[in-house]
Amino acid sequence: MKEDFLHFVWKEQLFDKSNLLTEDGQPIIIIDKGQYNFDAGPDFFNCKINLDNIIWAGNIEIHLRSSDWYRHQHQEDYNYDNIILHVVLENDLKVHRKNGSLIPTISLKNRFYNESYIRYDRFFKTNSMVYPCMPHLLSISEDILLAAFETALYERLNTKAVLIQEQLQQTNNNWEESFYHLLGKSFGFKVNAVPLQLLTETIPLSILERESNELIKIESLLFGVAGLLNSHSNSPYQKKLNKEFKHLQKKYNLQSLHPAIWKFGKLRPSNFPTIRIAQLAMLIFKQKRLFKKCITSNSIESLRKLFATEASEFWITHFHFESRSEPITKQLGNDSINSIIINTVIPFCYTYGKQIGNTAIKNKAIEWLTQLPAEKNKYVKNWSYPIFNFSNALQTQGLIQLNNSYCAKNRCIHCKIGCKILNI
């Protein structure tokens, strides 16, 4: 048996609580099982018990054997000083706090329901090629699935909010600058996400704004700092970029990134970093104070219009600097715009509303997710009809969070869907 199973039994209270006694004979009543702790420290926080007619509040630690307390060196860790109850399968050793007092212990041996363990054991021995829950999902109601996706979505947004707060600290709480940094990551679309974020972190938005009276200056700054300009090129366009960048580089004391960081291989030409940088340059040129425009947008349509941008004229006949191609307008597509809104705009608006205490902005960000189409990725493909028919991005974002934080880490007993299956 794994300790995780005891966590599940305690979390769902799947054991006989009648005439419950501690190992030294004190009657005990569980008033509040507490909140499960996903991080380091005691397993359950803020628990409440009635121990021999005295109310105790504190934390609970769970082990297969009570001697695991010492094996895990908890006696040396001050985080375990507030343990009010030790829950074990077998009590093989008395456990004391650092001050020498005995920690009350209860054993769940012969108290949990055997069918729960049989179901748990079968669940994790499934032959499913994807997830253990797959063979059981058709037995789960749509309401439970929707609730699980929504809960996971909020977890995902709050996790992203923490990362955004860290970004804000680096920019002295400058929302526009921080938004621009992570916008670069979105424009990289996975393959070039890190290089493009590095680019936006290397060339400050404040410099681009000072030179925003001409598109060519913004392009020269972005392409120059990206390290993608060829100083020996005979192209009139690239000569002009080089001339502008040489002046601006000296003016602002700028350093260029190494060109080897950019990935072109196995990408469709429309996704080449040259095209994405050119589109980003046009967006910065056309949309000043972009984040402010995002938080004041009142519809998903107006939000999409903000990002409906295309690369400049040179790029109509080019995918990179040196070779010409058949003429085609390099416009940011609907799927790309939706991806930027989902991965950057909505998390930023949600975080902003959360920080200033504006529920309306937070709710607007969530509402936008319900108006955006369901994403297409491997997770959605694995879950799609007949299991579930995804209708919007709120559901698919929730699914991604479930996969990353629960499925991929085999934390099924902490997932709403997994718990429901194990409790059927």
What pLDDT score was predicted for residue 283?
Answer: 97
Same domain, 240 and 102: no
Residue 390 lies in a domain: no
Same domain, 14 and 85: yes
Residue 111 lies in a domain: yes
Same domain, 257 and 343: yes
Same domain, 186 and 309: yes
Query: pTM of this prediction?
Result: 0.79
Q: Note the Cα 27 to chain centre separation in Å.
A: 44
Q: For residue 279, what are the domain limits?
A: 174-353
Residue found under tokens 């030179």: 211
Residue 263 lies in a domain: yes
What pLDDT score was predicted for residue 127?
Answer: 57
Q: Are strands 54-65 and 83-90 parallel, antiparallel or unpaired?
A: parallel
CA 184-397-409 angle, 5° bins:
100
**Domain limit, last residue, from 353, 369, 394:** 353
User: Do 279 and 207 meet the contact criterion of CB atoms below 8 Å apart?
Assistant: no
Residue 166 lies in a domain: no
Q: Which long-range contacts (CB under 8 A, 24 or more apart) does 26-31 make?
A: 26/51, 26/52, 26/104, 27/51, 27/52, 27/53, 28/52, 28/85, 28/104, 28/106, 31/55
Residue 132 lies in a domain: no
Same domain, 215 and 335: yes
Residue 129 CA: distances (Å) to CA of 42, 121, 136, 139:
34, 17, 13, 19
User: Do 291 and 236 meet the contact criterion of CB atoms below 8 Å apart?
Assistant: no
**Domain limit, last residue, from 300, 331, 353:** 353
Residue 145 lies in a domain: no
User: For each successive 10 residues of the chain (424 residues), what is the average pLDDT?
Assistant: 84 88 94 87 93 93 95 88 93 88 92 74 66 80 92 96 95 96 94 96 96 96 96 90 96 96 93 96 96 96 96 95 92 95 97 96 97 91 77 96 86 83 70
Residue 195 lies in a domain: yes
**φ, ψ dihedrals at 310, nearest 5°:** -140, 160
User: Do 66 and 92 meet the contact criterion of CB atoms below 8 Å apart?
Assistant: yes
What pLDDT score was predicted for residue 408?
Answer: 80
CA 329-284-231 angle, 5° bins:
75
Same domain, 116 and 236: no
**For the chain, what is the domain count?**
2
Same domain, 297 and 212: yes
What pLDDT score was predicted for residue 128?
Answer: 58
Same domain, 109 and 242: no
Same domain, 225 and 340: yes
Residue 401 lies in a domain: no
Same domain, 188 and 337: yes
**Domain limit, last residue, from 298, 330, 353:** 353
Half-sphere exposure (CA, 13 Å, Cβ side) for 223? 31
Same domain, 323 and 203: yes
Same domain, 199 and 340: yes
**φ, ψ dihedrals at 87, nearest 5°:** -105, 125
User: Do 220 and 285 meet the contact criterion of CB atoms below 8 Å apart?
Assistant: no
